[in-house]
Amino acid sequence: MFFSFHNAQRVFLLKELDVNIQGIYSHRERLTNDTVRHRYNWLGEVLLDRNQGQPILSTTGAQQGKRTMLNITSAIYSSRANVSYSINRHHRFVFSHLFQSIKREEDDEILTPLEREFTPKRNLVKNISSLSYEANAFRNKLKTNIYGKLFQQDIERIDNRANIANNQIIRYTEINNSTVREHSFGGTLSYLIKPAIVVLASAEKAVRLPNENEVFGEAGENIIPNFNIRPEKSHNYNIGFKIGPYQLNHHSLSLSSNFFIRDTRDKIVRRMATNITDAIQVEPFENLGKTISKGVDIELNYFYKKHLNIGGNFSRFDARYNNKYDNNGNILALYGKQLPREPYMTANAFINYSLNDFLQKKSQLKMHYNFQFVDSFYNIWVISKNIVGYENFKTPRQYLHDIGMSYFFPNKQWVVSLDVRNLFNRQAFDNFAVQKPGRAFFMKINYQFNNL
């Protein structure tokens, strides 16, 4: 169930004032079914004991813990309001507020009727307010933006409990509330040195609040709750440039690059193993402490008329653990080590081509090709590469190719799309070294109603 409300208006008594309000409500249901004790290999075959040939059973009752048929129902409401006031064409103030409420209930069908009466409820409310001042000068060559934000997150845990007193069962409701308040601020600057050459810079003290799954957990993704997780804070610095687009007849070329530093405290990450013998599959999100990342992004784009677009981007960054001493003043073994589960070099390239009046007048055929490269990276902490076995926890390099096409019918209401992902059926992994599907085919048909 989903609907949205949008209202944008200009207040005529104050022509310089703009108001924009949006609201969204959604109802989400998720089921996690984990009831089988047998263990399986990647081919879906039951694992057998080498000595007796008997099936290997889980010691906890199911694959990822105790047996469960967990239903999670969430009611999610979010709204955003933006108010901007222009003093003149060179100066403007913008105020915005984001409100989000998530009410979550759990019901495990595998429990007894009595046990199901004690299932918990979880509520999360987030408020983010921001105020910014925008200015431009020197004939719009210089543009600046200074802003500040206030964050508040309220978490409520409602648990039904029972105690036995005087040979009687006494039921009661335990409610735990916690509130986090933070602030951030920053600024951006851009300057047009000459036509089509822009220098950009920014600095900010940023805050990221933990999301629903990071706080409450998600059984379907093997995430357990962490009600003590703290917001992530960072000092971010960026400097870059943009050149173009330069036009020559029907050709257009642009180049952009950005250098960045991220000095982070309490980085929110999935708990990571430090021992190659660890076989932990169910983990919480937690705060890592101090980390620092430095890197560069480069992007190149070429256009020919309105038909051909060739481009690509390259990213290289170095993310390391930056806590040097423990509470006793000793140097930590992880100090200066590369963060696991974070690819440190990636590249993408693409070709898009469109044909007008293909088969029918006023129709359009769009074709695309994408290439993705991800360099190898470790998915556990590597304290010393001299230890035998670490290479087994290294995600290999990935070379992935996708192709596809979309056909837009003359009335633009019907669109038929065909896509082939991982065209050459190469091994692909996510950041947690979980293998992704191989070659896959997709077909999608869209129909757009008029005047809606």
Residue 214 lies in a domain: no
Chain centroid offset of residue 349 CA:
22
User: Looking at the domain assignment, is residue 255 inside a domain?
Assistant: no
- Say what the pTM is: 0.82
- 245 preceded by cis ω (within 30°)? yes
Q: In total, how many domains does the chain have?
A: 1
Separation of first and last alpha carbons in the chain: 18
Task: Give the C-alpha separation, 332 to 290, whole Å.
Answer: 12
**Residue 24 domain-assigned?**
yes
Alpha-carbon span 92 to 363, nearest angstrom: 42
Per-residue pLDDT tens digits of the chain, which is 452 residues long: 444 444 444 444 467 788 888 889 999 888 888 888 877 776 778 888 777 777 878 777 777 777 888 888 899 999 999 999 998 889 999 999 999 999 999 888 888 888 888 888 999 999 999 999 999 999 889 999 999 999 999 999 998 887 877 778 788 888 899 999 999 999 999 999 988 999 999 999 999 999 999 999 887 788 889 999 999 999 999 999 999 899 888 999 999 999 999 999 999 998 876 655 555 567 889 999 899 999 999 999 999 988 999 999 999 999 999 998 888 889 988 898 999 988 999 999 999 999 888 888 888 999 999 999 999 998 888 877 776 667 778 889 999 999 999 999 988 788 999 999 999 999 998 887 788 888 999 999 988 876 55
Is residue 364 a part of any domain in this protein? no
Residue 434 resides in a domain: no
Q: What is the C-alpha to C-alpha distance for residues 288 and 37, in angstroms, rounded to an integer?
A: 33
Are 383 and 335 in contact, with CB atoms under 8 Å apart? Answer: no
Take residue 210 and report the two structure tokens written for it: 């933990």
Q: Is 321 buried (19+), middle (13-18) or exposed (0-12) by CB count in 10 A? A: buried
Q: Specify if 355 maps to a domain.
A: no
Q: Which residue has the tokens 């104050």?
A: 14
Q: Is residue 40 part of a domain?
A: yes
Which residues constitute the domain of residue 114?
1-195
Asked whether residue 8 is assigned to any structural domain, the reply reads: yes
